[in-house]
Each structure stands twice: as C-alpha cells, then as structure tokens.
Structure 1
Amino acid sequence: MRISYQYKIKPTKEQVEKIDKTLEMLRYQYNYLLAQRFDWYEQNRCSIDRCPLVCHLPDLKDKPNYYSQKASLTQLKLDRPWYKEIHSQVLQEVPKKVEITFDRWLKGDSNGKKSGRPRFKGVNQYKTFTFPQFKHHNFSSNIITLSKIGNVKVIVHRQIPDGFDIKTVSVTKKADGYYVTLSLDDKTVPTVKHDFNSDNIVGIDVGLIDFFVTSDNERISAPKFLRKAERKLKSAQRKVSRRKKGSNRRKKAIKKLGKQHKKVADTRKDFHFKTAKSLLDKYDAIAVEKLNIKGLAKTRLAKSINDAGWGQFISILSNKAENAGLKVISINPNGTSQQCSMCGHKVKKSLSQRIHNCPVCHTSICRDLNAAINIKNRGTHDLKAQLMSS
C-alpha cells in the first residue's frame, strides 16, 4: 500500500535561501533540457505528409532521452560548479520530469491521452524537488535531514504508521510556506479487506445543487467554497492589479492573493477527505459515474464544476478505499438520469426537470435519487463480475 503524508516545515533563513536557490537552478535546467527536446523535434519534423517514391531523406538527429540528458549533468557541474550544491539524485529527477512531460505530449499516457505542448517554467513556477531515496532514520521526532540543506524542523501533526517505509521525500514551496511530502509504502497491507461484503454497496450521483445524493437518499449539500470566498478574492486581486509591476508591494499583494486561493483549496480538500471517510465508514463498495469532468468544465457551468472538485473527490475516495481494502466501482454514466430505476423504461427529461416521473410504472422520485439507484445497480453488476473473474 502506498500513501503520502505532508508536513509543514520551518526552515531557517539560510535554509530558505538554499531551497529557493535550488528551485531556481532546477528551473533553469528544466527549461534548458526542454529546449533541447524542442530543437530536436523542430529539426526532425516534416510538414509534408507525402513525397515521391525516390527522394533524399536527410539524416535524423539523435533524439535526446533521459539517459543522454542525465549523462550531461556531469559536464554541467564542471561548467557551472554551483550546481554541485544540489544533491545529485535531486538533479537527476529533472531529466526524468522532462522525459515524462515530453512523451505525454507526443505519445500520450498509459491510456493514450495526450497532454498539451509543454511550457517553459517562469520565475517562481518551479515549486517542487524530490529526493528519490530516503533513509528512515533521517526523519526522527520533529527533525528531518535533507541532503545539502541540513536539519529542518517539521510540524508533525500525525505520526507515521508502524510498518511503513519512507520511499521518497519531496520539498514543495507554497503560498504560506514550505512543506515536505513523504511517500510511504507497506506491502503487508491486504488489497481487499478480509470481511469485505459485496452486498454493502451504495451508488452516488454527484451534482451542483447537492454535492452528491446516495442510493439510500442521503444528501450532502454542495459547500461552494469558491463562491463564498469570491468577495475576498476579488479584493485581493484588485490590490495586485493596482500595484506597480516589479515592486515589493506587488509581490506582497501576490503573496496574499496566493494565500487566499490556497485557503479555498485546502478547505475544499478537507471537505473531500471527511466526506470520503464518512462514506467508507458505512459502505464496503461505492459506485460512481466515470464522468468526463474536463469536458464538462468547458461548459457554461465551468466555475461551479471546478468549485465542486468532483475529480479530486473521486481520486481521494479511490485512494482511501484502496488503502482500506474496499472498492470504488466506476460505471458508464450513459442514461443513468433518463432510465427508470424501477422498470428500466427510458424517460427523456431536460436538465431543469428535477423529478423523475415514469409513465409505465408510475414511479415519481427525485431525479438525482433515481440516477443514484441506477448507478448502484450497475455498480453491483460490475462488482460481481470483477469478483467472479478474480
């Protein structure tokens, strides 16, 4: 089982300077390696999609890859000795990050989905660096030892569970300070709970009026954290726009704006964690729709959909379920709102119609409840098929 714990750290002024300097040097190197990739791409691409049977093809340039760019770091330290102040493995993570970003643009991820063209990192846009190997004894009590940085004080708000090993440590700069994220692993945790009950399943239908409605007719109202904080955000944004570019007052205003946005994000994330825990405490399996959230976020409801944070909630729910040996089943959302949950008859209705009225079996229930019951039924079918195949 793999989990992550994040702690806030309290570095000294000298350590803050080292962290900021490390991030800035890594940003330069990231942009340089990414430019190498773009140069290769532009030199070897061809805008002509057809040519004669007999033609001259120019020799292709060697493609930069992770290993060749990683090997160039040795010469980098000779040409720029100040890069020796960065731990070697931290520096080696940069070509790996470039490789992943570039391949997602050209080839796509494991599911075939492609990302947009990679962008160069501007000032203060490179915010994280990672130690890929970390020994457990370097984190004791409230002190963590980071190579080339020193012993840093940590605010330990919860202890690491027994039996977990620290695999990697990431240092992140945020609007309100610096954080370390520990990636923990324990292979002894079972993938499925020993007393797992496949009949203890619930379907949830996410929405904008109610955050979700369960098939047991339990409702959680949408908290709308962004909408409630809009007034403060607008005020903070107005102060940024009125400050002179490059001035210290503008930097302070930007920092305050960042803190306001982080507060909204943290409050939403806390709500998602608590809501996911309340569901997993009651049910062994949860069926959810496999929604195209990115597509929905391009509609006129974009702000409300992003405010709800369905993608983050489902991701948290899935991770917590996996760690607890429970199941989250993603089902096809096609027709869950139109199909009658009692007789299966298809009843077409507009988005504004909030009551499901079936002319065949005369069922009259809330539209979202009807969808949640359909999601549960489909999830039950898929769960049994999974258990049978395993």
Structure 2
Amino acid sequence: MNYTYRIYPDAAQKADLLEWLETCRGVYNYALRELKDWLASRKCTIDRCSLEREYIISASEPFPSYHRQQNNLPKAKKLIPRLGEVHSQVLQTTIRRLHDTWEAFQKRGLGFPRFKKFGQFKSFVFPQFKVNPIESNFIKLPKIGAIRIELHRPIPDGFVVKQVRVLSKVRGTQWYVVVAIESSVSIPDASVHGRAIGIDLGLERFLSASDGSFQERPKFFRSMQGKLKLLQRRASKKKKRSKNWEKAQIEVARMHHRIANRRKDFHLKTAHKLCDQAQTIFAEDLNVKGLTRGMLRKDCVDAAFGQFLCLTEWVCWKRGVYFAKVNPNGTSQICPACFATVKKDLSVREHFCPECGYQTHRDHAAAEMVLSRGLENVSTQGLWGKETVCQVGLSGVYDLDKWRGAEISKSDLGKPALYARCPELVEG
C-alpha cells in the first residue's frame, strides 16, 4: 500500500531536492539519448552507410540495456562529480524508470520515451531502507537529512517501509512523500456477498445507483474557471522567466492543484459512501479515453470518471467490498424491467417502456441494467448462489423457448419472473 504525506523541507533541503531532480533529469535524458542513437544507427540499409541518418554506431556495440547503463554510472561519476552528490540508488531507479517506459512501449506499440524538459521531472525514488525512516514527526532521507512530515495517519502495526518516492508539486513549492509499506499478511480478494447495487456515471447526475439514490455532479473546473482564467491572463502579461512571471505561474499551478484536490476528495468520499450502502458494487467499464475526445470532453475531464473508478476499486478492496465492471453497451437503451430495447436520444432524460409501461429516470434505469448484468455475470461464473434453469442469462434458455414455439413477446424474454409464472417452460 501507498501512503502519501506532506513534507516541509527547509530552504537548504529544498535547494538540494531541486538539484537532485535536475540531476536525475540529466541522467534520464542522457540514457535516452544513448538508446535513441543505438536505434537510429540500425535504420540504414545493411550494405551501406546512411548519409542522411544520424551517426552510425558499430554493429558490435551491444544494446544499451538497463544493467549496462547502470554499470556505467560509477564511471560517469568520475567524469561528472555532480552525480556523486545524489544517492546512488536514486540514479539507478532513474535508469530503471526509463527502461520500464521502453518495455511498456514495446508491448503496446506506442508511447516512445520522450526527453524531459526543465521542470518536467518531478519525482525520484529511494528504493530501500534498512530501518524505518519515519520517527515522530520527521522522515530521514539519505544525504538529505531529517525533514518535517505531516504524519496525519501512522504506519499500521506489522507494516514495514519498503521505498519512498519524493514528489514535487506546484512548481517545486509543495513537497510530498509517497511511502510504500508492506506486510507479510496476505489479504484475500473480496467475494460476492451482501447487498448488491449497480451504478451509472453521467454528466447530469455524477452517479445514479440502482437503489434510487443519486449524487449530483460538482463542477470543480467549471466553478473555478473564471478565477483560473484571470490568473492565466495576468501570467501571460509578465516578462517570461522573470521573477514576477514565476510567481504568477505558481499561482496558476496552485489553482490547478486545488481543483485536483477537491475532485479527488469528492471521489473518495463518494466511494466510501457507496461502500456504506452495499457489499457488492457493479459499475460500467467505460471507455474513458473515448469520452475525452467527444463534444463534451471538457465536462468529462472535469468529472474524471477514470479516476473515480480506480479509487472506488481501491476503496472497495480496502473495505472488503466486491467490485466488478460490466459491459456498458446499451445500458440506457434497454428496459431493466422487461429487457426490451427502447431507443432514445441523449436529450431524453426519462425512460418509458412501451412494452411493460415501466417509467423512471434514464440514469436510474441504466444503473438497474448494470446491476442486472453484474448479477448475471457472477451467477454464470458460479460466484453468486446456485445456478438453476431459471437463472437469467443461462446459455440456451432463450433459444429453447423459441424452438418450442412458445408465444412469448420480446419484452418477456429474459424476465426472471416469467419462469416462476410459467413453470411448464422449465418442466418441458
């Protein structure tokens, strides 16, 4: 688990931390330059040297792997004494960070590592500690010293500190540490149990639950957009790289940081509220990237559905609540009472089924459909109760009814109560 704490370094420590970040940025960029040069030298044809490409590295030169570049750090320290001021393991984790990005690029085929500009490298890691670095209200970091920490919650008993990431925010004016703690106790994943609800996320209502409850959407960015625009206008009129320009940029960064904190606080409180309501939660598996490219992209980014789903999954795991995602396709176009298709535009906010007459809010109907799909998934997987021939979604039941020639309308297909009213369909 990771615990995030605010730290308050003094002026000398803050200068050292900023210097370390710049040193790590230089090491990262140099290692990336070696990697790109090696790749560029292999782009020419096999029988001739290229006059247009970058310079050619010998064919016998091995690939600049993580271990090779890590072993070159002691040699670089002799040539550049400034590297010796940074903890050796911090530089090694910087090289590791580059190669993790490179390996991720090879797997997904996109996202080639980029050079870090000034101010873009915002964190470094101490990968291990022999003893607990946190004592009372201070945290001891190698070569940095004891820094005052806001220990708003203590480290739980039985957990040891594995690594510490130092994080810079608001253009180097606010500092945090992300403490990774570990325990030998294994916690099993939560199983399906208790009361179940489905949730639907939207822009009119941030969250609608299948039990009828809903949560309005606070417009964090929209409400602060006027003040942010004013600060950005002031910053644009300052001379670039001057002291007044830097002060104005810090004000803009502080406003963005405040908006992000308010949004995350709302997401965590909403997730805990859901865990208080039920012990099993189903949510839509939304295409978050697709939502940020549409006409309502600004509102979707402001709502941050992806962050909310990640935080909800984490809170559910921590509190022993089962959490699962279901297919979101057509949840608002299907009646949850009779499973009939009811086409409606996005502007239609009420759900009315002409087949069964069921009427409710559009988001509430979608949440009920999410719950139905979630229960169907866990039932067919054997996670919920026992499977019977009356189970919704059981493979072959609908086709069997059609083969028998049962005169059942499309609205009745999929109704769990239908088999209770017509047991002859099951008994054959």
Q: Normalized against structure 1, the TM-score is what?
A: 0.91
After alignment, is 263-272 or 170-179 more displaced? 170-179
Instruction: Please give the alpha-carbon distance, in whole angstroms, between the structure 2 residues aligned to 1:147 and 1:254.
Output: 31
Cross-structure match for 1:54: none
Q: Which residue of 1 aligns with 2:356?
A: 361
Cα distance in 2 for residues equivalent to 1:266 and 1:171: 18
Question: Which secondary structure state, in structure 1, belongs to the residue aligned with residue 124 of structure 2?
Answer: strand
Answer yes or no: is the 8 Å Cα contact 1:203–1:373 preserved in 2: yes
Q: Does 1:282 align with 2:265?
A: no
**What pairs up with 1:238-257 in 2 under 5 angstroms?**
238-257=233-252
Between the aligned partners of 2:316 and 2:374, the Cα distance in structure 1 is 15
- Once the 2 structures are TM-superposed, how far is the Cα of residue 39 of structure 1 from its aligned partner? 1.6
The count of corresponding residues between Structure 1 and Structure 2 is 371
Residue 65 of structure 1 and its aligned partner are, at CA, apart by 1.6
**CA separation of 1:366 and 1:92: change in aligned 2, threshold 3 A:** same
Relative contact order higher in (CA < 8 Å, ≥ 6 apart): 1
Alignment identity in percent? 38
User: Which residue does the alignment assign to 1:15?
Assistant: 13
Aligned to 1:207: 202
Comparing 183-192 with 172-181, which one deviates more in the overlay?
183-192
Q: Which residue of 2 aligns with 1:265?
A: 260
Q: Matches of residues 103-142 of structure 1 in structure 2 within 5 Å?
A: 103-108=103-108, 114-142=109-137
Paired position in structure 1 for 2:187 = 190
The Cα of 1:46 is off from its aligned counterpart by 6.3
Higher mean C-alpha deviation, range 277-286 or range 289-298: 277-286
Residue number in structure 2 paired with 1:352: 347
Q: 1:314 to 1:46 in 2, by over 3 A?
A: farther
- Give the whole-Å Cα distance in 1 for the aligned partners of 2:61 and 2:213: 61
Structure 1 counterpart SS, 2:370: helix
Superposed displacement of residue 387, structure 1: 5.5
Q: Which moved more, 1:33-42 or 1:304-313?
A: 33-42
> Per-residue CA shift, 1:241-288, capped at 9, x if unaligned?
111111111011001100000000000001111111111122111101
Superposed CA deviations along residues 289-335 of structure 1, whole A, max 9, x for unmatched, are: 11111111011111100100111111111111112222210111111
Match of 1:339 in 2: 334
User: For 1:358 and 1:60, how far apart are their aligned partners in 2?
Assistant: 71
Are positions 1:68 and 2:51 aligned together?
Answer: no
Is structure 2 residue 365 aligned with structure 1 residue 370?
A: yes
> C-alpha deviations, 1:120-167, integer Å up to 9, x for none?
111111110011112443211101100010111111112122222211
**Aligned partners of 1:130 and 1:170 also within 8 Å:** yes
What is the CA distance between 1:7 and its match in structure 2? Answer: 1.0
Greater radius of gyration (CA)? 2
Cα RMSD over matched residues? 1.9
Gaps of 5+ in 2: 47-57, 385-428
Whether the 8 Å contact between 1:224 and 1:308 is mirrored in structure 2 is: yes
Alignment match, 1:159:
154
| Cα distance per residue 1:323-378 (max 9 Å; x no partner) | 22222101111111111101111111111111112121111111111110010111
Cross-structure match for 2:415? none
Q: Secondary structure at the match of 2:139?
A: strand
Q: Say if 1:191 and 1:325, in contact at 8 Å, map to a contact too.
A: no
